[in-house]
Structure 1
């Protein structure tokens, strides 16, 4: 992502689930003495004060307290119209504003007819029913564009880990066990590989996938880029990334030496990586997840690793966060008798991939810009549910 993180622009490459170029978004109109209301859920704006000054001058900002954001209280307040006929929902931080839980049909149904846009921090939207929002004429905008640089950087490290067995190397060096050090120094060589020339399979060629392809492709690490996505990318983009498209997930899995999961999860909780799909991986392949833990059947993944179908894995996200699957944790910290097995076959981190200051600055800024665009009658910058909206807004 070449543009500054705190000034997202429409000229970037935002991911949309299904672009709808003909969609007309009418500007919000109010009485001359009134301003549209924005429901601000979560912490106050911290970073982009210049943008917020403009934002606050255009709209009446209403911010419920933490107590008012608890689900039963929040839902009753919506029924009572406590916060007026608001036009937008603004959630600038991922760490707050989620106290009401999943935005399912029951919650979305309580939103006023005037609501036009829901803009939130975060790339994922498995906590919100974007289909139901769309059917009510509400655009949901994520902020994955702001996280693309950080997540792709982290994913590079995780891919390297799967080829070079970094948990083993780090664990042996920090164990204060001279035997473990010597054992790793001697045996890790035969287990490790260069990245160059291997096939990187990317599931989901959105902003993060594109950044990852650029970093691990021909310019730096020399990996051959293959990808699967529900919508094929333009020929010009494929040419720039030297990327080969697969029309089926199975086709990609059977080709890739390392598979990276970069696609958003949905509210239905369906897995992409499970017993069936793991059976399609190349023997000895590697797997990285920087998307959502709900997309992976972790027990099936542990089986594949224990059965040596997969060589190694790296997971930044987990199904039951903050709890980590105990079988995968054992594979991450596994020790062995000298000269046997491959210790530390799994790299585990704490949902850290997007966790840099620049990402949070971008989340905040991009959420405001999406709301201003929609309420002014312009195209949203990073919509994800336009394909569910019929007849414009």
Structure 2
């Protein structure tokens, strides 16, 4: 007698190849459109499924998890970040949580470097001139940006992505500095030619570029608050491809408007799509719609991780990318 296939509910449209493979292996409910599920739709899915495959746009809090049916045994997140999932409550109810770490490291680091270049070289302002049809030709003093080589880059969070950013920055001739919960091993630090700062305040006050590459946790919420942002040099810029909640967005907007910070490159925002309208009006910012991980290769690798986590669980083993509260 053949084994009954797991019931899997996917909350968003995924690349065709991923959806096809899921359908081959499991009894899968896919989305016909790409709108996020409503809270009631999520609750219904969690009552009927063995496995839920959510994304960062799904808020899986304690109240939802408490309504889940007895069938739900695994939340196989399509993405590395899990701050939208109450992992502790899930664990208490015997629901495992897995994620897709590591596959987006290079893509996100590429986007971080792209934003550093875009902000320091004023690319968005140049594009606006071209799109307006008002360009009158080259001029010696027009849209003068700054040279990236020689600048001090302060990386906040020196995990996989932070280190990948450091390698790219090295190639551009930047001086790499970092602040992390724990200092890197000496060999890694030497290979990156990176200077460690135990004091985040002291590092922030001396950098030309700050790159946010740490996860969002209770301890990192508004880590770059108004007081710390004021420590930045007036000609410094800040880049965030990690989590929007790490920066006090309103304080950042005020300082950018006042010229107290030179510029910003943001791919993530404190309140998801509800971006401060004054921030969107500024010329000295480059704003992207959470594109840091948006490569086809990365999305397929994320899907492969989800598949492996579910298949391993279905075979009676611990998912290789299981997340437990102690990791957060």
Same fold by TM-score greater than 0.5 = yes
Aligned counterpart for 1:358 among listed residues 297, 304, 314: 297
Residue in structure 2 matched with residue 20 of structure 1 by the alignment: none
Distance in 1 between the 2:318 and 2:128 partners? 50
Q: CA RMSD in A?
A: 3.4
CA contact (8 A) 1:116 1:374 kept: no
Structure 2 counterparts to residues 77-156 of structure 1, below 5 A: 78=46, 82-83=48-49, 86=50, 88-91=51-54, 94=55, 101-111=58-68, 117-136=74-93, 138-156=95-113
Change in Cα spacing, 1:49 to 1:173, as seen in structure 2 (3 Å) is closer
Residue in structure 2 matched with residue 46 of structure 1 by the alignment: 16
Is it true that 1:226 corresponds to 2:180 in the alignment? Answer: no
Structure 2, unaligned runs of 5 or more: none
1:277 CA drift (Å): 1.7
Change in Cα spacing, 1:320 to 1:74, as seen in structure 2 (3 Å) is closer
Structure 2 counterparts to residues 282-297 of structure 1, below 5 A: 282-297=233-248
Aligned counterpart for 2:118 among listed residues 151, 161, 172: 161
Change in Cα spacing, 1:112 to 1:224, as seen in structure 2 (3 Å) is farther
Change in Cα spacing, 1:77 to 1:168, as seen in structure 2 (3 Å) is closer
Structure 2 counterparts to residues 176-215 of structure 1, below 5 A: 176-178=133-135, 185-189=140-144, 192-215=145-168
Aligned counterpart for 2:27 among listed residues 46, 54, 61: 61
The worse-fitting range, judged by mean Cα deviation, of 35-44 and 320-329 is 35-44
CA contact (8 A) 1:126 1:269 kept: no
Distance in 2 between the 1:273 and 1:113 partners? 41
CA contact (8 A) 1:134 1:388 kept: no
Which structure has the larger Rg over C-alpha atoms?
A: 1
Residue in structure 2 matched with residue 369 of structure 1 by the alignment: 308
What SS class does the counterpart of residue 40 from structure 1 fall into?
strand
CA contact (8 A) 1:275 1:297 kept: yes
What SS class does the counterpart of residue 193 from structure 1 fall into?
coil
Structure 2 counterparts to residues 292-311 of structure 1, below 5 A: 292-311=243-262
What SS class does the counterpart of residue 161 from structure 2 fall into?
helix
Change in Cα spacing, 1:169 to 1:150, as seen in structure 2 (3 Å) is same
CA contact (8 A) 2:115 2:265 kept: yes
1:383 CA drift (Å): 4.5
Is it true that 1:251 corresponds to 2:206 in the alignment? Answer: no
What SS class does the counterpart of residue 17 from structure 2 fall into?
coil
TM-score, normalisation: structure 1: 0.70
CA contact (8 A) 1:120 1:363 kept: no
Please give the per-residue CA displacement for 1:189-242, whole angstroms capped at 9, x wherever unaligned: 3xx32222222111222332222111111xx11212222233443333223222
Distance in 2 between the 1:262 and 1:307 partners? 26
CA contact (8 A) 2:9 2:45 kept: no
CA contact (8 A) 1:90 1:119 kept: yes
Structure 1, unaligned runs of 5 or more: 1-31, 333-344
Q: Which has the higher contact order (CA 8 A, sep 6+)?
A: 1
Residue in structure 1 matched with residue 40 of structure 2 by the alignment: 72
Change in Cα spacing, 1:173 to 1:216, as seen in structure 2 (3 Å) is same
CA contact (8 A) 1:153 1:212 kept: yes
1:323 CA drift (Å): 4.5
